[in-house]
Amino acid sequence: MASSGSDSAAITADVASAASSGPGWTFWAILLSVAVALLSIAAQRAVAKRRAAIDLILVSETEQFRTQRASLGDTVRNNQMLTLMEPKSAEDFQRRKDVSNVMNHYELIAISIFNRTVDDQIMKQYEYTVLVGTWEDCKDLAKAIGDSGQKTAYGNFKKLAELWIDDPEIETGLWRKAKSITREIIPW
């Protein structure tokens, strides 16, 4: 029992000695703790962004969305995109709704990417061909909607499609991960 008292006294003396030797080790311990906390936050943000990307992708894999994409394809093949500006029948109204839902989906993807709430490279890997093709199919309709008074209609969708057309490369590997984590810690 006497030895445990002297051991605890020695430990207390060592801690007191280290603390009184100056702020050196305390500063580095705090700095290390902050660095670990920032890296943990950045890693969790990256995971959340990947999950959000997968969630958006899963929406595009639903039967309802596939049906709406098929309706868009039929409308394009029949050269009827601009007729959706003034639908005349129930079928026209349904096609307009389907095309609108598809365009809104890609507008949401673009907004999410520009606001850094989804992983842009996962979205680009999965959605590149479909998003760019959909923009090509819908750009005349988006322009007509903009000309009718909704000036910002599908502006993010357009901007993202044009960015991807200009830069089709997909970043992968360690460099991409390093850039992603750096963007989370230093967002500017």
The string of DSSP codes covering 136-164 is HHHHHHHHHHHHTT-TTTTHHHHHHHHHH
Predicted TM-score (pTM) of this structure: 0.71
User: Distance (Å, rounded) from C-alpha 55 to C-alpha 53?
Assistant: 5
Per-residue pLDDT of the chain (188 residues; tens, 9 = 90+): 445 556 656 555 555 555 555 567 788 888 889 988 888 888 888 888 889 888 989 888 999 999 999 999 999 998 888 888 888 999 999 999 999 999 999 999 999 999 989 988 889 999 999 999 999 999 999 999 988 888 778 999 999 999 999 888 766 555 555 555 555 555 54
Q: Is 115 exposed, middle or buried (0-12, 13-18, 19+ CB in 10 A)?
A: exposed
21 token code pair: 């030797």
Q: Is 54 exposed, middle or buried (0-12, 13-18, 19+ CB in 10 A)?
A: middle
Q: What's the pLDDT at 184?
A: 56
Q: Is 1 exposed, middle or buried (0-12, 13-18, 19+ CB in 10 A)?
A: exposed
Helix, strand or coil for residue 31? Answer: helix
Q: What's the pLDDT at 66?
A: 92
- Domain extent listing, the chain: 51-185
Q: Is 149 left (phi over 0), alpha (psi -120 to 50) or beta?
A: left
Q: Is 42 exposed, middle or buried (0-12, 13-18, 19+ CB in 10 A)?
A: middle
Whole-angstrom CA distances from 99 to 48, 110, 147 are: 29, 17, 18
User: Distance (Å, rounded) from C-alpha 84 to C-alpha 102?
Assistant: 14
26 token code pair: 């305390």
Length of the chain as a residue count: 188
Q: What is the CA radius of gyration of the chain?
A: 27
